[in-house]
Structures are given as C-alpha cells and as structure tokens.
Amino acid sequence: MNDLNPTGPIPPQLPTPTYPIRAPLGESPEEREPIPNLFAATEAVLRQPRRVMYHLRQPGSGRIVIAMLFVAMLCAAGYGVVVGTFSSGAQLWIAPVKIVGGLLLATLICLPSLYIFACLSGSQARLMEIVGLVTGLLLLTTLLLIGFAPVAWLFSQSTDSLAWMGTLHLVFWGIATVFGLRFLENGFAHTKARSNAGLMTWVVIFVLVVLQMTTALRPIVGTAETFLPQEKKFFLSHWGDSLKSSLD
C-alpha cells in the first residue's frame, strides 16, 4: 500500500446527472450511446436518465420499453417476496403476484389520462415516449424498492405488527416513488409541454390509484382466507381500521 503514487493523476470526474434539464436530449455523445440490454437500461435509468429519455424518442424504442418493464416487474416481484416473508406460507407467492399485478393495473388505468393531459399541455411526445417515461418511473421505483429490501426483510422478521410493517412498506414505496416521479417530470420537460399542471394532476391521480390498489388487493402483507377481499373499502378507511386493531 506504500506504493500509492501520491503525485499520480486524479481519476477523471464521472459524468454527473446534473445536466441542465432543458438542454436538448442527445447533445452529449454519451446520451446517444445505444442501450443494448437489460443491464444497460437498468444502469442508465439510475446514472444516465437523459440517455434513456433520448432513446425513448428514437424509432424502435419499444425494445427498451419492454426491457425496462421486464426488469421493473422482476424487481417488483423480488420486493413482493420480501413483503411476503412477514406472513410466510402462501403469502410468499401471493404478495409478489399482487404487487406486480397491482402496479401493472394501476399503470394501465392511469396511462390514458397521462397521454391526454400531455396533449392538453401542448406536449409533442408520442404515445410510446409517454409509455416509456412511465415505464422508467416504474423501473426506478422498483429498483429503489430492491435497495430497501434488506431493511424491509429485517423488520419483517423482527415484528409481529401488521400496521407497522404496512406503514414501513408505504414509506419505502413513497420514497422510491418520489425518485421515480422525478424521472417522469424531467422526461416530461423535454416534450415541449407549455405547463406542468397536467402532469402534476396526473401524479396525484396515480398516487391515489396505487394507494387504493393496495386496499383493493388486500391483504398484501397479512393473510386472509380468500385471495381477494370480499368487502369494498376506501384506503383511508382500511388504514384507520388496521391501525385501530393494531393499537387495541
């Protein structure tokens, strides 16, 4: 270790993602580098989001979208298994199925409104670009959930409190979604939209739909005799009931 060369050159600064948001996509050669596979797509979404945004605007972007969606669902399933470890048994497959299905369903439900809001805002984005941006949102969110997975697993094994675990998963999902939505917002900024109001409205709708989906597909963390609930409930009412029964 003594042979460290103190006068040696300092490694070059890695490219940072703090580009001016409004700079045209593809301006830097790095952004134009192709995204050949799943791993490149995953890494690009984390480190070079503008590279992903650039390629989503190019012809044949469907391949990248499919790759990103595949990884996102894989990550969602992985996190689902961790969620299922709280109750174990059948929840080990039920939780991933419900999380993957719920995320896909919520996205499909919300996608048309995002496209319409985008058009109303004057955005020039094609449908595939919007689909790609939403897929990027899903990928980033689920990747971060995988990052949270070891922490979630530890708490799953430590506590018996359903309300606590539910809250923890919601907090993790919330943090991950903030980063995912930031990707979407940055991508949306390049679609020449006149205002962000439509996007912000959609964000509220999307979050509400996902939250309601957790109640519509309950139980995800705990167990039940039936795969799906027999009673319809609003998510706030469900949370209130869960907290009350946990505190009693």
Partner 1 sequence: MSASAFNPNTPTAFLRAEPTRLRQWVTQRPANLVGCCLAAVVLGAGTYGAVMGCWRDPWQALYTGIKLPLVILLTTLGNGLLNGMLAPLLGFNATFRQSLTIVLLTFATASIILGALSPVALFVVWNTPSLSGATQLSSPEYGFMQLTLAGLIASAGVAGNVHVLPLLTQWTRSVGVARKVLLAWLAGNLFLGSQICWILRPFIWDPAGPTRFIGREYFRGSFYETVFEAVRRLFFAWG
Q: Which residues bind partner 1 (CB under 8 A)?
A: 1-2, 4, 6-8, 10-11, 13-18, 46-47, 140, 143-144, 146-151, 154-155, 157-161, 164, 179, 182, 247
Give the closest residue to 139 by CA, choosing from 190, 75, 209: 75
Question: 175 or 224: whose CB is closer to partner 1?
Answer: 175
Least distance from C-beta 248 to partner 1, angstroms? Answer: 12
Least distance from C-beta 62 to partner 1, angstroms? Answer: 26
Question: 42 or 91: whose CB is closer to partner 1?
Answer: 42
Question: 124 or 159: whose CB is closer to partner 1?
Answer: 159
Question: 58 or 245: whose CB is closer to partner 1?
Answer: 245
Question: 17 or 36: whose CB is closer to partner 1?
Answer: 17
Least distance from C-beta 108 to partner 1, angstroms? Answer: 26
- CB-count exposure of residue 227 (10 Å: 0-12, 13-18, 19+): exposed
Least distance from C-beta 5 to partner 1, angstroms? Answer: 8
Least distance from C-beta 207 to partner 1, angstroms? Answer: 19
Question: 40 or 146: whose CB is closer to partner 1?
Answer: 146
The Cα 130–Cα 57 span in angstroms is 9
Least distance from C-beta 154 to partner 1, angstroms? Answer: 6
